[in-house]
Amino acid sequence: MQELDLIALFIRPLNEHRIRYVVSGSVASTLYGVPRVTHDIALVAFLRGEDLRKLMEAYPQPEFYLPPVDIIGAEVAREQRGHFNVIHASTGLKGDFYTAGKDEVNAWAFRNARQYEVGTISVRLAPPEYVIVRKLEYFREGGSQKHLTDIRGMLAVSGDTLDRASLNHWLDRLELAEEWRQVSA
């Protein structure tokens, strides 16, 4: 199972080094909805300056490629849209790290994260409402239908468990009503 490989490679080190994160993206939408093949895991990382050393220890070279610590530090310092990749050298599997910055949606996701057990690994999963909102934003920015497909799968499997008030709040706040109509009709 590709998701289990991704979780073992990228989540276990975060847990061991006590680095704060939530899993989002296609791995989260798979756990909340319909499985699909993916070669990466999207993580929102809640990093502070003192976490950079722990991050470098969590993903040692040459087993992993990650940018130099000063580049990661610059991304962490961004208030919004900070991003870097960590790549497992022998498999090519990738962790897409999005830094939390001062983004209020990321802060909400961290406060409302759900704890899951995948195999023997404890995973902090972003709430499904967050995953939906972010996928709608990515669809608006890039037009990829895979995001809408993922959301439809989530609605089919987990739709009854959604916090509709929170979802509607973020849909309104981020002006995603039109994109939401495309998947909820």
pLDDT digits 0-9 by tens, 81-120 = 899 999 999 999 999 999 998 999 999 999 999 999 988 9
Distance of alpha carbon 83 from its chain centroid, rounded?
11
What pLDDT digit, counting tens, does each position of 173-182 carry?
999 999 999 9
Q: Give the global pTM.
A: 0.91
Is the separation of the CB atoms in 111 and 163 below 8 Å? no
Q: Is the pLDDT of residue 1 over 50?
A: no
Q: What domains appear along the chain, each with residue ranges and CATH number?
A: 2-184 (3.30.460.40)
What average pLDDT score do residues 12-20 get? 96
| Amino acid, res. 7 | I
Residue holding tokens 């949606």? 105
Q: Is the pLDDT of residue 2 over 80?
A: no
Asked whether the CA dihedral 180, 144, 125, 103 is positive or negative, the reply is: negative
d(CA 170, CA 119): 32
Is the separation of the CB atoms in 137 and 171 below 8 Å? no
